[in-house]
Chains A and B, each alone.
Chain A
Amino acid sequence: MSQSFYVITWTDVLVSFVLVAISLGLIRWWKIGLEKTLLIGTLRTFVQLAAMGYVLTFFFQQRHWLFMVTLVSLMILIAGFEGYRREKEFRIPHYFVIITGSLFFTVFIVLGIILKFILDVQPWYYPYAMIPIAGMIIGNALNSTTLTTNRFIGELQHRDQEIEMLLSLGAPARVAVQDSLRNAIRAALIPNINSLMMVGLVQLPGVMTGQILSGVDPLIAVRYQIMIMYMWITTVIIVDILVLAFVYRQFFTPRIQLRRHLLLKKYP
């Protein structure tokens, strides 16, 4: 049997800069003018991921549940802050607390199910499982909440008259924004559902490609990937619904009035 996996060395990685050199040559030739940015991006990828490798190696050596829980909490806080920072244009009251809280809840549920019932890892905080899975959940959840929140505000902006019309007929706030909520969630979900439809047909997901390259049996890699896809979609649905359930309330007063001023840009 021939060698079933190849160890890639740092020298090999340096050789892969040839690929970047080709791209650099091409954009120079066409005078696209992004050489510097591309170069910086390339270097940052190298430095950040290399650093991450060492950091992960350190993390994986830790054997205390409290360390793992703190680490995951820290990741969630950073993600919450990033989500809050991305919401530049509009001021949503309590947005930081909303995202961070929703992320905590979602990670708790999804990670819990995976670690306890699917992989059944021993101990439950086994870092090789916990850290990458938590990272994936948090990353997907963050992107999706940004998308869904922005879409929701966009819907409110162009439906403000409709919403006030519904309120004036006696509708509760929740009903008045029902269509906006639906559209916002759909917008965030459709790309994910599409990838459920297309996965494996054209492109192998990155995680799976990496696993197969490093010698894992494709059938095992595939099982992981199926789990990841389900995890992904569940994460997105839970976190988006949770975030919007709290976000929409910020746009109404206790007297069920639309807080129109929140729909104006933060910096006029």
Chain B
Amino acid sequence: MNKEPLFRLTSVSKSIGGKTLLDNISLQIEAGDFLSILGPSGAGKSTLLRLFNGLDSPTAGTIEYQGKPLFSYPMTGLRKRVGMVFQNPVMVRGTVRDNLLLTQRWEQPSTNLAEETLVSVLAQVDLSPAILDQDTKTISGGEKQRVALARVLLNKPEVLLLDEPTANLDPQLARRIVRLIHQLFKQLKLTIIMVSHDYSLLSKYTTRIAFLIGGRIVEEGAADILEQPSTETVKTFLAKGAI
């Protein structure tokens, strides 16, 4: 039972309208991994990431979560366990508090979130409680990204899917956010699957790397494959600086 990987993708493909976006991907992710999915724009990284929490279905192949088919789980429950943060954090109209309390729109009232819970989750993402009653229209991009993180953390997820969470931030802020993500990864014993253009940002933290180019995984392994890429495509990708 414990031998099962957290995620097991077997020959997963996805095509839309005759176009193949993901091509025969097999991949295993162990609990506790910090997997970076790297690749150029249009490689299919977002498409792949959206499969892990069932926002999309593959057109071929199977995905298992903890040894059982992903889609055999009730989707709403699964998505709480496998949280996701998008490239552009979407806020609903209202304050930061409204956004943190979103899940109360559908959870039983018994899960009432105490003020201390909100304050402590904000502390985890390095925000002060003063922001709670600020309108989300007035907060900065970096703050938005952290509110989005806090919002997901309130679900107490096992896995975090991150789709270029730093793409719209300046390099310094991006580093700070990635450091924060790494802290959460350690603290909360999460499994992280993070998509990025920029391997230099992640190299310090990531435990595993998968290179996705043209919808295929061309290379996959422990973090040190960065130093010794075995395929030409990855070498060129790295040489170009990868942004």
Contact = CB atoms under 8 A, between A and B. Distances in A.
Interface of A: 161-162, 164-172, 175, 178-179, 253, 255-258, 261
A162 B57 CA distance: 19
18 contacts: A161-B86, A164-B55, A165-B90, A168-B84, A169-B83, A169-B151, A169-B155, A170-B79, A170-B106, A171-B76, A171-B102, A171-B103, A171-B105, A171-B106, A175-B106, A257-B56, A257-B57, A261-B16
A168 B79 contact: yes
Contact of A170 (B71, B77, B90): B77
B54 interface: yes
Contact of A256 (B75, B80, B103, B152): B75
B154 to A, nearest CB: 9
Contacts, number: 58
Secondary structure of the A side of the interface? helix
B76 A170 contact: yes
B55 A257 contact: yes
Nearest to B103: A169
Nearest to A256: B75
B88 interface: yes
Contact of B86 (A165, A179, A257): A165
Contact of A175 (B75, B79, B86, B105): B105
Given A162-B90, A165-B90, A172-B106, A256 B76 contact: yes
B36 interface: no
B240 to A, nearest CB: 30
B57 A253 contact: yes
B194 to A, nearest CB: 15
A167 B105 contact: no
A161 B106 contact: no
B106 A167 contact: no
B88 A161 contact: yes
B92 interface: yes
Nearest to B16: A261
B103 A170 contact: yes
Nearest to A174: B106
B53 A255 contact: no
Given A162-B90, A255-B57, A255-B75, 11 more contacts: A162-B92, A169-B79, A169-B80, A169-B83, A169-B102, A170-B77, A171-B76, A175-B106, A253-B57, A256-B76, A257-B55
A247 to B, nearest CB: 20
Nearest to A253: B57
B152 to A, nearest CB: 7
Given A161-B88, A178-B105, A256-B75, A168 B53 contact: yes
A170 B105 contact: no
Interface string B48-91: 00000111110000000000000100011101100110101010
Contacts of A179: 92
Contacts of A167: 55, 79
B102 A166 contact: yes
A257 B80 CA distance: 15
Contacts of A171: 76, 102-103, 105-106
Contacts of B75: 255-256
Choose among A164, A179, A258 the residue with the greatest number of B CB atoms under 10 Å from its CB.
A164
A176 to B, nearest CB: 9
Contacts of B86: 161, 164-165, 168
A180 to B, nearest CB: 12
Interface string B126-155: 000000000000000000000000011001
B164 to A, nearest CB: 14
A258 B79 CA distance: 14
A122 to B, nearest CB: 50
Nearest to B79: A170
Pairs A-B, 4 closest by C-beta atoms:
A170-B80, A168-B84, A165-B90, A170-B79
